[in-house]
Amino acid sequence: MAIVARQLEREALAIARSLGLPSFQYVVTSRILTDLPATEVEEEIDQVLGQILEKLTTTPESNSSRVQTKAGPAQAERFSGEDRYDCFSRMNEAFLERGWGDGFPLLPPTREAVASMLQGTSRTLDEVVAVMAPGDGMASVERIAINAVMAGCRAEHLPVLLAAVEAMTTPPFPLRTVACGTSPHAPLAVVNGPLAKRVGIHSGRCALGPGAPSRVNTAIGRALRLVMMNVGHAYPDVADLDTIGSPLKYGMCLAENEEANPWEPYHVERGFPREASTVTVFGIKDMVDMNDVQNETAEGLLTSYSAWSALMGGEYMELTKDFSEYHGIVLLAPDSARVIAHDGWSKKSIREYLYHHSRLPLKWLLSKIRAMGPQVMLPQYRWLLDAPQEMLFPVIGSPEWYHIVVAGGSVGKSQYMRLMGPASMTRPIEDIPRKNERA
Amino acid sequence: METVLEVLNPVAPTAGQLERLTLVPRPPSLQGKRVGLYWNYKRGGDIALQRVGQFLRSRFAGLEADFLPVQRGPQRGVLRKLLQGYDVVVGSTAD
């Protein structure tokens, strides 16, 4: 059984039902425990101890049953109206009211549109790509294709989306946390290889949008969000418990600017041949503009970047028994990449420099962990609680936790993004030659 | 003349819609039983569970209550193995 705060009871029941537990057993506290002092947590629990005991010693009726054997094809629904636009409006109103959209108008997933979308893959429409957290949704090719239509994707974008779903449903990507957390996590899909340009995924100026140059990026990023909601059941205020939200969650996708990359592309670092096309999904927490167009040396630029990386701070959960890794991604503008490479620096040396120079005083970094109590820290790190608290400490756990992707236009303004956990596995994209592919 | 637009449902069925699970039978008494107190590292949950453990130990002779802090997002297999051997488990995520 579980202890659930009243304010989150609806979400707990939704998750339990999606996991096959309509008879989920729980007790309800009147307040959320996370922000309460210890004495008030105990007061809340004292109110429900009797109920806890009853739940632990009384077996309610429940029956296992297999309701369906497979996901099955999608059901159709009809919307009537005075004309096509009226029908479209009614469909949108219904879908948005049910929570099936992101707030923007949705393209209608007609049978014809979905059939056309499915031309983009050789996979069968009933193939289940993954079982998707948090709701254990059956991510069939057909369901993903329907959401891709709604987002404005074309058939040639579907393989990217399928590979991205595979990537984010494979550990170590922390999908459940990215989908449900109370922080504003959002997926960023980074595409590498020749397919990116062929299907129109932008790698240059305004690659993360908005506008015409990145319209394909926008559609794919949006589709990924719709899949998280309608397939993974990460609906806002139901399973997505993000406190404030973020515009990053509408969707993020870009291609690495491999032409401007003076080193090996990201996917080659991950073990793929250069000619392969791949997608990697990162769970983004937040981002900052690294605005340094003055420095003309690698060390100067990376000193500035270390300051921004430090400014964003660290989570330090790898010091605790939770042992969560919190990585970072540097979206390196082409001009900055050129300057750094010209001075003879490799990606490895960039990572090392950032790791050693992105530091903050221990007292700031351990504030959160100190509030949790020393028992949460791994024994080998507890000495840090007694170390001089003005000591500077790296904000990230290892140089290898910095990911470097070259992207963007010609002015040297890079970006740094903190991640919720490590990056996903990099997945290959099915590459089907198609007639009339448009860039 | 009325126009009709037919569209397909984008929502995937969940594993829970495909198969419903039976609840594990509860013991009629916790005397001599092993209780797992599952915590996901969210602040407050540990205090809540320690209180529950304290209460149960005071009520039932021979009861063992083990505090189980678990890395967030564990794999199902890991969780199943961890919780084997416990007669009942109380979980708290604190938020």
Q: In the prediction, which pLDDT does A437 show?
A: 45
Structural domain boundaries, residue A199: 107-358+395-428
Claim to verify: residue A129 and residue A41 sit in the same structural domain: no
Same-domain pairing of A36 and A181: no
Please state the length of chain B: 95
Looking at residue B84, what is its pLDDT?
83
CA separation for the pair A417, A218 (Å, rounded) = 18
Judge if the upstream peptide bond of residue A210 is cis by omega within 30 degrees of 0. yes
A376 neighbourhood in chain B, CB within 8 Å: 41, 69
What pLDDT was estimated at residue A105? 97
Give how far A220 is from chain B: nearest CA, Å.
Answer: 16
Query: Could you give the CA distance from residue B45 to residue B66 in angstroms, rounded to a whole number?
Result: 14
ipTM: 0.86
Report yes or no on A322 lying in a domain: yes
pTM of this structure: 0.85
Q: Is the pLDDT of residue A153 over 90?
A: yes
For residue A87, what are the contacts with CB-CB under 8 A and spacing of at least 6? A79, A80, A81, A108, B3, B4, B5
CA distance B38 to chain A (A): 9
The percentage of residues in chain A with a pLDDT greater than 70, rounded to a whole number, is 95
Domain extents for chain B? 30-92
Q: Are residues A131 and A46 in the same domain?
A: no
* Cβ contacts from A onto B, under 8 A: 254
Cα–Cα distance, A432 to A160 (Å, whole number): 11
* DSSP 8-class letter at B72: S
- Chain B neighbors of A55, CB-CB under 8 A: 26
Instruction: Indicate if the alpha-carbon torsion angle A381, A383, A386, A388 is positive or negative.
Output: negative
pLDDT category of residue A14 using cuts at 50, 70 and 90: confident
CB contact, 8 Å: A225 with chain B? no
Mean per-residue pLDDT, A46-71:
78
Q: Does A438 touch chain B (CB under 8 A)?
A: no
Residue A49 has pLDDT above 50, yes or no: yes
C-alpha dist (Å) from residue B48 to A33, A293, A409: 8, 52, 52
Contacts of A61 (CB under 8 A, 6+ apart): A23
Confidence (pLDDT) at B21? 74
Query: Mind telling me how many Å the CA of B49 is from chain A's nearest CA?
Result: 9
Contact (CB, 8 A) for A161 and A224: yes
A216, part of any domain: yes
Domain boundary, last residue among A33, A57, A81:
A57
Contacts of B73 in chain A (CB under 8 A): 174, 176-177
Contact (CB, 8 A) for A407 and A196: no
pLDDT digits (tens, 9 = 90+) for A349-377: 999 999 999 999 989 888 888 877 777 78
pLDDT at B92: 86
* Counted domains in chain A: 2
Number of Cβ within a 10 Å radius of residue A17: 18
Tell me whether B88 touches chain A (CB under 8 Å).
yes
Interface test with B, best of A21, A28, A44, A56 (most B CBs within 10 A): A56
CB atoms within 10 A of CB A77: 14
Same domain (yes/no): A53, A179: no
Structure tokens given for A107:
């393209």
Of A54-63, A110-119, A163-172, A194-203, the one with minimum mean pLDDT is: A54-63
- A241, closest residue in chain B (CA to CA): B95
| Across A421-431, average pLDDT | 90
Phi-psi region of B13 (alpha: psi -120 to 50; beta: other; left: phi over 0): beta
Q: Cβ contact (<8 Å) for A59 and B26?
A: yes
pLDDT at A335 (0 to 100): 94
Are B4 and A141 in contact by the 8 Å Cβ rule? The answer is no
pLDDT (0 to 100) of residue A431: 84
The Cα A14–Cα A7 span in angstroms is: 13
In a domain, A240, yes or no: yes
- At A239, the pLDDT band (50, 70, 90 cuts) reads confident
Identify the pLDDT of residue B80: 78
pLDDT score for A282:
96
pLDDT higher than 90, residue A72:
no
**Is residue A253 included in any domain, yes or no?**
yes
Chain B positions touching A136 (Cβ under 8 A) are 14-16
Q: Residue B46: is its pLDDT beyond 50?
A: yes
Please determine, for residue A62, whether its predicted confidence score (pLDDT) is greater than 70: no
pLDDT band at A439; cut points 50, 70, 90 = very low
- From the list A211, A194, A286, A1, the residue with the least C-alpha distance to B87 is A1
Cα angle at A21 between A50 and A25, to 5 degrees?
A: 0
Which phi and psi (to 5°) does residue A78 adopt?
Answer: -115, 140
pLDDT top residue among B20 and B45: B45
Q: Least CA distance to A36: which residue of chain B?
A: B44
A54 interfaces chain B, CB cutoff of 8 Å: no
Q: Which long-range contacts (CB under 8 A, 24 or more apart) does A351-354 make?
A: A351/A399, A351/A400, A351/A402, A351/A404, A352/A399, A353/A299, A353/A302, A353/A306, A354/A302, A354/A305, A354/A306, A354/A309, A354/A328, A354/A330, A354/A396, A354/A399, A354/A402
User: A405-419 burial, b if ≥16 CB within 10 A, otherwise e?
Assistant: bbbbbeebebbbbbb
Report d(CA A256, CA A282) in Å as an integer.
13
- Helix and strand counts by DSSP (H, E) for chain B: 3, 5
A84: in domain: no
Mean pLDDT for A173-200 is 94
Q: Determine the average pLDDT of the residues in A304-320.
A: 86
φ/ψ of residue A349, rounded to 5: -70, -30
Average pLDDT over residues A227-245: 93
Does residue A7 lie within any of the structural domains? yes
Amino acid letter at A209?
A: G
Whether residue B38 contacts residue B89, with contact meaning beta carbons closer than 8 Å, is answered with: yes
Same domain, A275 and A409: yes
CA neighbor of A142 nearest in space, from A113, A166, A168, A170: A113
Q: Are residues A211 and A339 in the same domain?
A: yes
A67: nearest CA partner in chain B: B18
